[in-house]
Protein backbone atom coordinates (compact mmCIF):
# COMPACT_ATOMS: atom_id res chain seq x y z
CA UNK A 1 0.00 0.00 0.00
CA UNK A 2 1.29 3.47 -0.94
CA UNK A 3 0.81 6.48 1.30
CA UNK A 4 0.96 10.11 0.14
CA UNK A 5 3.21 11.82 2.66
CA UNK A 6 3.09 15.20 0.90
CA UNK A 7 2.46 18.02 3.36
CA UNK A 8 -0.95 19.57 2.89
CA UNK A 9 -0.87 23.25 1.86
CA UNK A 10 -2.26 25.51 4.55
CA UNK A 11 -5.29 27.54 3.55
CA UNK A 12 -5.26 30.91 5.22
CA UNK A 13 -7.46 34.00 5.40
CA UNK A 14 -5.69 37.37 5.63
CA UNK A 15 -7.20 40.06 7.85
CA UNK A 16 -6.44 43.74 8.32
CA UNK A 17 -7.73 46.82 10.11
CA UNK A 18 -8.17 49.91 7.92
CA UNK A 19 -7.34 53.13 9.78
CA UNK A 20 -6.48 55.34 6.76
CA UNK A 21 -7.63 54.34 3.29
CA UNK A 22 -9.24 51.10 2.17
CA UNK A 23 -7.01 51.09 -0.92
CA UNK A 24 -3.79 51.16 1.16
CA UNK A 25 -5.03 48.33 3.36
CA UNK A 26 -5.96 46.33 0.24
CA UNK A 27 -2.38 46.70 -1.11
CA UNK A 28 -0.96 45.66 2.26
CA UNK A 29 -3.12 42.54 2.25
CA UNK A 30 -1.93 41.78 -1.31
CA UNK A 31 1.61 41.91 0.06
CA UNK A 32 0.58 39.78 3.04
CA UNK A 33 -0.81 37.17 0.62
CA UNK A 34 2.54 37.19 -1.23
CA UNK A 35 4.32 36.62 2.08
CA UNK A 36 1.99 33.72 2.85
CA UNK A 37 2.67 32.24 -0.60
CA UNK A 38 6.41 32.54 0.02
CA UNK A 39 5.92 30.69 3.32
CA UNK A 40 4.13 27.90 1.46
CA UNK A 41 0.49 28.75 2.21
CA UNK A 42 -2.48 29.53 -0.03
CA UNK A 43 -4.66 32.59 0.58
CA UNK A 44 -8.34 31.66 0.25
CA UNK A 45 -9.99 34.85 1.50
CA UNK A 46 -9.57 38.29 3.09
CA UNK A 47 -11.29 40.41 5.69
CA UNK A 48 -10.90 44.20 6.05
CA UNK A 49 -12.44 46.13 8.92
CA UNK A 50 -12.60 49.91 8.90
CA UNK A 51 -12.21 51.36 12.39
CA UNK A 52 -10.16 54.06 14.16
CA UNK A 53 -7.82 51.49 15.70
CA UNK A 54 -7.52 47.74 16.16
CA UNK A 55 -9.63 46.25 18.97
CA UNK A 56 -7.31 46.04 22.02
CA UNK A 57 -8.57 42.57 23.00
CA UNK A 58 -9.42 40.82 19.73
CA UNK A 59 -7.86 42.95 16.91
CA UNK A 60 -11.14 42.72 14.94
CA UNK A 61 -14.58 43.67 16.24
CA UNK A 62 -17.11 41.04 17.34
CA UNK A 63 -19.16 41.31 14.12
CA UNK A 64 -16.08 40.89 11.89
CA UNK A 65 -14.93 37.88 13.88
CA UNK A 66 -18.28 36.21 13.21
CA UNK A 67 -17.88 37.08 9.52
CA UNK A 68 -14.36 35.62 9.64
CA UNK A 69 -15.71 32.40 11.18
CA UNK A 70 -18.16 32.01 8.31
CA UNK A 71 -15.44 32.71 5.73
CA UNK A 72 -13.14 30.10 7.29
CA UNK A 73 -15.96 27.53 7.14
CA UNK A 74 -16.87 28.40 3.53
CA UNK A 75 -13.27 28.23 2.29
CA UNK A 76 -12.12 25.35 4.51
CA UNK A 77 -9.51 27.72 5.92
CA UNK A 78 -6.98 26.33 8.39
CA UNK A 79 -5.53 29.58 9.71
CA UNK A 80 -5.69 33.37 9.90
CA UNK A 81 -2.87 35.87 9.32
CA UNK A 82 -3.36 39.43 10.62
CA UNK A 83 -1.57 42.34 8.94
CA UNK A 84 -0.32 43.88 12.19
CA UNK A 85 1.73 42.53 15.07
CA UNK A 86 -0.74 41.10 17.58
CA UNK A 87 -0.39 41.43 21.32
CA UNK A 88 -0.33 38.16 23.31
CA UNK A 89 -3.89 38.90 24.50
CA UNK A 90 -5.19 39.54 20.96
CA UNK A 91 -3.58 36.35 19.63
CA UNK A 92 -4.91 34.16 22.47
CA UNK A 93 -8.44 35.58 22.27
CA UNK A 94 -8.60 35.17 18.48
CA UNK A 95 -7.37 31.57 18.73
CA UNK A 96 -9.98 30.76 21.37
CA UNK A 97 -12.80 32.35 19.36
CA UNK A 98 -11.84 30.97 15.92
CA UNK A 99 -10.35 27.60 16.94
CA UNK A 100 -7.70 27.82 14.17
CA UNK A 101 -4.09 28.84 14.05
CA UNK A 102 -3.69 32.64 14.30
CA UNK A 103 -0.53 34.38 13.13
CA UNK A 104 0.51 37.95 12.49
CA UNK A 105 2.66 39.68 9.90
CA UNK A 106 5.75 39.56 12.14
CA UNK A 107 5.52 35.81 12.74
CA UNK A 108 5.06 35.20 9.00
CA UNK A 109 8.18 37.21 8.09
CA UNK A 110 10.17 35.50 10.83
CA UNK A 111 9.07 32.13 9.47
CA UNK A 112 10.23 33.02 5.94
CA UNK A 113 13.57 34.20 7.30
CA UNK A 114 13.95 30.95 9.26
CA UNK A 115 13.36 28.92 6.11
CA UNK A 116 15.77 30.95 3.96
CA UNK A 117 18.68 31.65 6.34
CA UNK A 118 21.68 29.76 4.97
CA UNK A 119 24.72 31.07 6.86
CA UNK A 120 25.45 30.58 10.55
CA UNK A 121 25.11 34.33 11.06
CA UNK A 122 21.72 34.39 9.35
CA UNK A 123 20.48 31.47 11.44
CA UNK A 124 21.65 33.11 14.67
CA UNK A 125 19.95 36.39 13.71
CA UNK A 126 16.67 34.65 12.91
CA UNK A 127 16.68 32.55 16.07
CA UNK A 128 17.40 35.64 18.17
CA UNK A 129 14.51 37.55 16.58
CA UNK A 130 12.15 34.58 17.01
CA UNK A 131 13.05 34.09 20.67
CA UNK A 132 12.53 37.78 21.46
CA UNK A 133 9.18 37.70 19.69
CA UNK A 134 8.03 34.52 21.41
CA UNK A 135 9.34 35.41 24.87
CA UNK A 136 6.11 37.20 25.78
CA UNK A 137 3.89 34.73 23.94
CA UNK A 138 4.91 31.39 25.42
CA UNK A 139 1.50 30.48 26.83
CA UNK A 140 -0.48 31.34 23.71
CA UNK A 141 1.92 29.56 21.36
CA UNK A 142 2.04 26.47 23.53
CA UNK A 143 -1.69 25.77 23.30
CA UNK A 144 -1.99 26.71 19.61
CA UNK A 145 0.87 24.58 18.41
CA UNK A 146 0.04 21.54 20.53
CA UNK A 147 -3.42 21.59 18.96
CA UNK A 148 -2.50 22.37 15.39
CA UNK A 149 0.92 20.77 14.85
CA UNK A 150 3.48 22.20 12.40
CA UNK A 151 3.19 24.36 9.29
CA UNK A 152 4.12 28.00 8.79
CA UNK A 153 5.02 29.87 11.92
CA UNK A 154 6.73 26.85 13.50
CA UNK A 155 10.08 26.70 11.68
CA UNK A 156 13.42 27.79 13.07
CA UNK A 157 14.06 27.11 16.73
CA UNK A 158 10.99 24.88 16.72
CA UNK A 159 8.47 23.72 19.27
CA UNK A 160 11.12 22.49 21.67
CA UNK A 161 12.22 26.06 22.40
CA UNK A 162 8.64 27.17 22.83
CA UNK A 163 8.42 24.80 25.78
CA UNK A 164 11.38 26.41 27.50
CA UNK A 165 10.70 28.52 30.53
CA UNK A 166 11.52 32.22 30.39
CA UNK A 167 14.79 31.74 32.25
CA UNK A 168 16.14 29.37 29.61
CA UNK A 169 15.02 31.62 26.77
CA UNK A 170 16.70 34.58 28.45
CA UNK A 171 19.94 32.60 28.74
CA UNK A 172 19.71 31.53 25.10
CA UNK A 173 19.16 35.15 23.99
CA UNK A 174 22.22 36.22 25.98
CA UNK A 175 24.30 33.46 24.35
CA UNK A 176 23.14 34.42 20.84
CA UNK A 177 23.93 38.07 21.53
CA UNK A 178 27.48 37.09 22.52
CA UNK A 179 27.86 35.10 19.29
CA UNK A 180 26.53 38.01 17.22
CA UNK A 181 28.92 40.38 19.01
CA UNK A 182 31.82 38.18 17.90
CA UNK A 183 30.49 38.15 14.32
CA UNK A 184 30.08 41.93 14.44
CA UNK A 185 33.71 42.34 15.55
CA UNK A 186 34.82 40.11 12.65
CA UNK A 187 32.69 42.16 10.23
CA UNK A 188 34.23 45.40 11.53
CA UNK A 189 37.72 43.97 10.98
CA UNK A 190 36.70 43.05 7.41
CA UNK A 191 35.37 46.60 6.88
CA UNK A 192 38.67 47.98 8.19
CA UNK A 193 40.60 45.85 5.70
CA UNK A 194 38.38 47.10 2.89
CA UNK A 195 38.99 50.70 3.91
CA UNK A 196 42.75 50.07 3.84
CA UNK A 197 42.43 48.77 0.29
CA UNK A 198 40.82 52.09 -0.78
CA UNK A 199 38.27 50.21 -2.86
CA UNK A 200 34.89 52.02 -2.70
CA UNK A 201 31.91 50.05 -1.38
CA UNK A 202 28.49 50.33 -3.05
CA UNK A 203 25.61 48.97 -0.93
CA UNK A 204 22.57 47.72 -2.86
CA UNK A 205 19.36 48.46 -0.94
CA UNK A 206 15.72 48.30 -1.88
CA UNK A 207 12.29 46.92 -1.15
CA UNK A 208 12.04 43.16 -1.15
CA UNK A 209 11.66 41.65 -4.63
CA UNK A 210 12.79 44.87 -6.32
CA UNK A 211 15.43 42.94 -8.31
CA UNK A 212 18.58 43.52 -6.24
CA UNK A 213 19.98 40.00 -6.68
CA UNK A 214 19.18 39.98 -10.39
CA UNK A 215 21.04 43.28 -10.79
CA UNK A 216 24.05 41.98 -8.83
CA UNK A 217 24.12 38.83 -10.95
CA UNK A 218 23.91 40.81 -14.19
CA UNK A 219 26.65 43.28 -13.24
CA UNK A 220 29.13 40.86 -11.66
CA UNK A 221 28.21 37.40 -12.93
CA UNK A 222 27.45 36.26 -9.38
CA UNK A 223 25.37 33.07 -9.15
CA UNK A 224 22.82 34.20 -6.58
CA UNK A 225 19.42 32.56 -6.26
CA UNK A 226 16.78 34.55 -8.14
CA UNK A 227 13.09 33.97 -7.52
CA UNK A 228 10.04 36.13 -8.07
CA UNK A 229 9.26 35.90 -4.37
CA UNK A 230 9.58 38.15 -1.35
CA UNK A 231 12.88 37.67 0.53
CA UNK A 232 14.23 35.25 -2.11
CA UNK A 233 17.71 35.94 -0.76
CA UNK A 234 18.54 36.70 2.84
CA UNK A 235 22.29 36.49 3.44
CA UNK A 236 24.42 39.43 2.17
CA UNK A 237 26.72 38.91 -0.81
CA UNK A 238 29.73 41.03 -1.86
CA UNK A 239 31.23 40.94 -5.35
CA UNK A 240 33.87 42.92 -7.28
CA UNK A 241 32.84 45.18 -10.16
CA UNK A 242 35.05 47.09 -12.60
CA UNK A 243 33.58 50.35 -13.89
CA UNK A 244 34.14 51.55 -17.51
CA UNK A 245 36.96 53.89 -16.46
CA UNK A 246 38.84 51.05 -14.74
CA UNK A 247 37.75 51.88 -11.19
CA UNK A 248 37.18 48.77 -9.07
CA UNK A 249 34.30 48.79 -6.57
CA UNK A 250 32.73 46.30 -4.15
CA UNK A 251 29.00 45.68 -4.62
CA UNK A 252 27.27 44.47 -1.45
CA UNK A 253 23.72 43.10 -1.55
CA UNK A 254 21.54 43.53 1.56
CA UNK A 255 18.32 41.94 2.81
CA UNK A 256 15.20 43.48 1.27
CA UNK A 257 13.19 46.03 3.25
CA UNK A 258 9.44 45.79 3.75
CA UNK A 259 6.67 47.86 5.30
CA UNK A 260 6.05 47.06 8.94
CA UNK A 261 9.45 45.35 9.16
CA UNK A 262 9.46 43.70 12.59
CA UNK A 263 11.48 45.56 15.20
CA UNK A 264 13.00 42.25 16.37
CA UNK A 265 14.36 41.67 12.87
CA UNK A 266 15.83 45.14 12.51
CA UNK A 267 17.66 44.69 15.81
CA UNK A 268 18.84 41.15 15.03
CA UNK A 269 19.99 41.99 11.50
CA UNK A 270 21.57 45.31 12.44
CA UNK A 271 25.13 44.07 11.85
CA UNK A 272 24.13 42.94 8.34
CA UNK A 273 22.06 45.99 7.50
CA UNK A 274 24.86 48.26 8.72
CA UNK A 275 26.71 47.49 5.47
CA UNK A 276 24.74 50.43 4.09
CA UNK A 277 25.95 52.61 6.96
CA UNK A 278 29.60 52.15 6.04
CA UNK A 279 29.21 52.19 2.26
CA UNK A 280 30.55 55.00 0.07
CA UNK A 281 27.49 54.99 -2.23
CA UNK A 282 23.92 53.70 -1.81
CA UNK A 283 22.49 51.95 -4.88
CA UNK A 284 18.72 52.08 -4.39
CA UNK A 285 16.87 49.53 -6.55
CA UNK A 286 13.18 50.29 -7.14
CA UNK A 287 10.56 48.08 -8.81
CA UNK A 288 9.19 50.66 -11.25
CA UNK A 289 6.38 48.29 -12.32
CA UNK A 290 4.89 48.16 -8.81
CA UNK A 291 1.87 50.41 -8.21
CA UNK A 292 3.06 51.00 -4.64
CA UNK A 293 6.48 52.21 -5.82
CA UNK A 294 6.34 55.56 -3.94
CA UNK A 295 5.31 53.90 -0.66
CA UNK A 296 8.07 51.32 -1.07
CA UNK A 297 10.68 54.03 -1.67
CA UNK A 298 9.47 55.83 1.46
CA UNK A 299 9.83 52.59 3.46
CA UNK A 300 13.43 52.12 2.26
CA UNK A 301 14.46 55.65 3.25
CA UNK A 302 12.69 55.36 6.62
CA UNK A 303 14.51 52.08 7.31
CA UNK A 304 17.86 53.66 6.37
CA UNK A 305 17.13 56.52 8.79
CA UNK A 306 16.26 54.04 11.56
CA UNK A 307 19.65 52.39 10.95
CA UNK A 308 21.24 55.84 11.34
CA UNK A 309 22.63 55.80 7.81
CA UNK A 310 23.88 59.36 7.33
CA UNK A 311 23.81 61.44 4.17
CA UNK A 312 25.46 59.46 1.42
CA UNK A 313 25.37 59.72 -2.37
CA UNK A 314 22.34 57.79 -3.65
CA UNK A 315 21.93 56.37 -7.16
CA UNK A 316 18.36 55.17 -7.73
CA UNK A 317 17.70 52.50 -10.36
CA UNK A 318 14.11 52.31 -11.58
CA UNK A 319 14.26 48.61 -12.38
CA UNK A 320 11.98 46.25 -14.34
CA UNK A 321 11.52 48.63 -17.29
CA UNK A 322 10.73 45.55 -19.39
CA UNK A 323 7.39 45.34 -17.56
CA UNK A 324 6.42 48.95 -18.27
CA UNK A 325 4.58 50.03 -21.39
CA UNK A 326 4.84 53.70 -22.33
CA UNK A 327 6.82 56.55 -20.86
CA UNK A 328 6.31 57.19 -17.18
CA UNK A 329 7.68 60.08 -15.15
CA UNK A 330 9.86 58.51 -12.45
CA UNK A 331 11.35 60.70 -9.73
CA UNK A 332 13.32 60.25 -6.54
CA UNK A 333 13.98 63.61 -4.92
CA UNK A 334 16.31 62.08 -2.32
CA UNK A 335 18.66 60.60 -4.93
CA UNK A 336 21.74 62.28 -6.41
CA UNK A 337 20.89 60.76 -9.79
CA UNK A 338 18.38 58.29 -11.27
CA UNK A 339 18.64 55.67 -14.02
CA UNK A 340 15.97 53.64 -15.83
CA UNK A 341 17.05 50.04 -16.32
CA UNK A 342 16.07 46.41 -16.55
CA UNK A 343 18.35 43.96 -14.77
CA UNK A 344 16.63 41.12 -16.61
CA UNK A 345 17.28 42.38 -20.17
CA UNK A 346 20.38 44.50 -19.49
CA UNK A 347 18.68 47.73 -20.65
CA UNK A 348 20.17 50.86 -19.07
CA UNK A 349 22.99 49.07 -17.22
CA UNK A 350 25.74 50.93 -19.10
CA UNK A 351 24.07 54.22 -18.04
CA UNK A 352 23.99 52.91 -14.47
CA UNK A 353 27.73 52.19 -14.48
CA UNK A 354 28.41 55.67 -15.85
CA UNK A 355 26.22 57.18 -13.12
CA UNK A 356 28.11 55.26 -10.41
CA UNK A 357 31.39 56.41 -11.92
CA UNK A 358 30.24 60.05 -11.94
CA UNK A 359 29.08 59.91 -8.30
CA UNK A 360 32.33 58.28 -7.15
CA UNK A 361 34.31 60.82 -9.17
CA UNK A 362 32.79 63.62 -7.09
CA UNK A 363 34.36 62.06 -3.99
CA UNK A 364 37.85 62.11 -5.52
CA UNK A 365 40.53 64.62 -6.28
CA UNK A 366 41.00 65.65 -9.90
CA UNK A 367 44.63 65.18 -10.98
CA UNK A 368 46.25 66.93 -13.94
CA UNK A 369 50.03 67.10 -13.64
CA UNK A 370 53.39 65.82 -14.91
CA UNK A 371 55.15 62.98 -13.12
CA UNK A 372 58.86 62.24 -13.18
CA UNK A 373 59.72 58.94 -14.90
CA UNK A 374 60.88 57.66 -11.50
CA UNK A 375 57.29 58.05 -10.17
CA UNK A 376 55.67 55.32 -12.27
CA UNK A 377 54.69 53.47 -9.06
CA UNK A 378 52.59 56.47 -8.06
CA UNK A 379 50.82 56.45 -11.41
CA UNK A 380 50.11 52.77 -10.79
CA UNK A 381 48.36 53.76 -7.55
CA UNK A 382 46.07 56.07 -9.53
CA UNK A 383 45.43 53.31 -12.06
CA UNK A 384 44.61 50.78 -9.34
CA UNK A 385 42.59 52.82 -6.87
CA UNK A 386 41.38 55.75 -8.91
CA UNK A 387 40.59 56.51 -12.52
CA UNK A 388 43.36 57.10 -15.08
CA UNK A 389 41.82 59.00 -18.00
CA UNK A 390 44.95 60.12 -19.85
CA UNK A 391 48.61 59.10 -19.71
CA UNK A 392 51.05 60.85 -22.11
CA UNK A 393 54.81 60.19 -22.18
CA UNK A 394 56.67 63.46 -22.83
CA UNK A 395 60.26 64.67 -22.71
CA UNK A 396 59.75 66.40 -19.36
CA UNK A 397 57.89 63.44 -17.79
CA UNK A 398 54.58 61.60 -17.85
CA UNK A 399 51.49 63.77 -18.15
CA UNK A 400 48.61 62.29 -16.14
CA UNK A 401 44.97 63.26 -16.04
CA UNK A 402 42.52 61.40 -13.85
CA UNK A 403 40.91 61.08 -10.45
CA UNK A 404 42.36 59.70 -7.24
CA UNK A 405 40.80 58.97 -3.80
CA UNK A 406 41.59 61.71 -1.34
CA UNK A 407 42.97 59.20 1.16
CA UNK A 408 45.84 58.16 -1.09
CA UNK A 409 46.67 61.50 -2.72
CA UNK A 410 49.52 61.88 -0.25
CA UNK A 411 51.08 58.68 -1.61
CA UNK A 412 50.20 59.32 -5.25
CA UNK A 413 51.22 62.99 -5.48
CA UNK A 414 54.24 63.82 -7.72
CA UNK A 415 57.55 64.07 -5.89
CA UNK A 416 57.72 67.84 -6.38
CA UNK A 417 54.29 68.29 -4.73
CA UNK A 418 54.35 68.16 -0.89
CA UNK A 419 52.21 65.29 0.41
CA UNK A 420 50.32 67.63 2.70
CA UNK A 421 48.66 69.24 -0.33
CA UNK A 422 46.84 65.98 -0.94
CA UNK A 423 45.02 66.20 2.34
CA UNK A 424 42.88 69.00 0.98
CA UNK A 425 43.09 69.22 -2.76
CA UNK A 426 45.04 68.47 -5.87
CA UNK A 427 47.24 71.21 -7.26
CA UNK A 428 45.11 73.91 -8.82
CA UNK A 429 41.91 71.99 -8.17
CA UNK A 430 40.72 72.72 -4.65
CA UNK A 431 37.03 72.65 -5.57
CA UNK A 432 36.94 69.17 -7.05
CA UNK A 433 36.49 67.23 -3.85
CA UNK A 434 33.19 66.55 -2.16
CA UNK A 435 33.06 64.80 1.22
* 8-36 per-position pLDDT tens digit: 788 999 999 988 766 677 888 998 999 99
Q: Single out the residue in 314, 344, 360 at which a domain terminates.
A: 360
User: Residue 214's domain spans which residues?
Assistant: 199-360
Kindly tell me if the per-residue pLDDT of 97 is higher than 70.
Answer: yes
How many domains does the chain divide into? 3
Greater confidence, 306 or 71?
71
403 and 342 share one domain: no
Any domain includes 431: no
**One domain for residues 356 and 374:** no
On whether residue 380 sits in a domain, the answer given is yes
Residue 187 resides in a domain: no
**More confident position, 211 or 233:** 211
Chain mean pLDDT for the chain: 81
SS3 237: coil
The fraction of the chain above a pLDDT of 70, given in percent, is: 81
Distance CA 197, CA 191 (A): 10
Q: What is the pLDDT of residue 71?
A: 95
The pLDDT of residue 224 is above 70 = no
370 and 390 share one domain: yes
272 and 406 inside one domain: no
Same domain for 301 and 398? no
210 and 341 share a domain?
A: yes
Q: Is residue 351 part of a domain?
A: yes
> What was the pLDDT predicted at 139?
53
Q: Which domain-ending residue is among 309, 328, 360?
A: 360
What CATH number does residue 272 fall under? 3.40.50.300
Question: Are both 151 and 270 inside the same structural domain?
Answer: no
pLDDT band for position 421 (cuts 50, 70, 90): very low
What pLDDT is attached to residue 147? 42
Q: Choose the final residue of a domain: 162, 189, 224.
A: 162
- Of 245, 313, 241, nearest to 280 by C-alpha is 313
Q: What is the CATH number of the domain that holds 33?
A: 3.40.50.11060
Report the chain's terminal Cα–Cα distance, integer Å.
73
- For residues 91, 93, 94, 95, the Cα torsion angle rounded to the nearest 10 degrees is 80
- Residue 422's pLDDT band (cuts 50, 70, 90): very low
Tens of pLDDT, residue by residue over 104-115, are: 998 898 888 888
Amino acid 228: pLDDT: 56
236 lies in a domain? Answer: yes
Same domain, 341 and 372: no
Distance, CA of 370 to chain centre:
45
Helices marked H in 221-348: 263-268, 270-273, 293-306
More confident of the two residues 315 and 27: 315
> Are residues 208 and 350 both part of a single domain?
yes
Contact of 140 with 88, CB cutoff 8 Å: yes
Residue 3 maps to a domain: no
Residues 259 and 306 in one domain: yes
100 and 222 belong to one structural domain:
no
216 shares its domain with 126: no
Amino acid sequence: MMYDLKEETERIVVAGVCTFSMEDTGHLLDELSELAQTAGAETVGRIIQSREQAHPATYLGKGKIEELKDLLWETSGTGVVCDDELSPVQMKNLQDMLDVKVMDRTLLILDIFAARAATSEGKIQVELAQLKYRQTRLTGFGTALSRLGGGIGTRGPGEKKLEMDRRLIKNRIAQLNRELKGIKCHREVARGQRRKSWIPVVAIVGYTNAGKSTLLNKLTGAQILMEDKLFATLDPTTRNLKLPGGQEVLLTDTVGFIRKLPHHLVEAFKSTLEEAKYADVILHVVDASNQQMDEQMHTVYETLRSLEVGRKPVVTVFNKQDRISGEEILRDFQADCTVKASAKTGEGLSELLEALEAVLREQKIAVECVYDYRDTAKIQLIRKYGELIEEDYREDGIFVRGYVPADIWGKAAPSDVPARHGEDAAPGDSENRRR
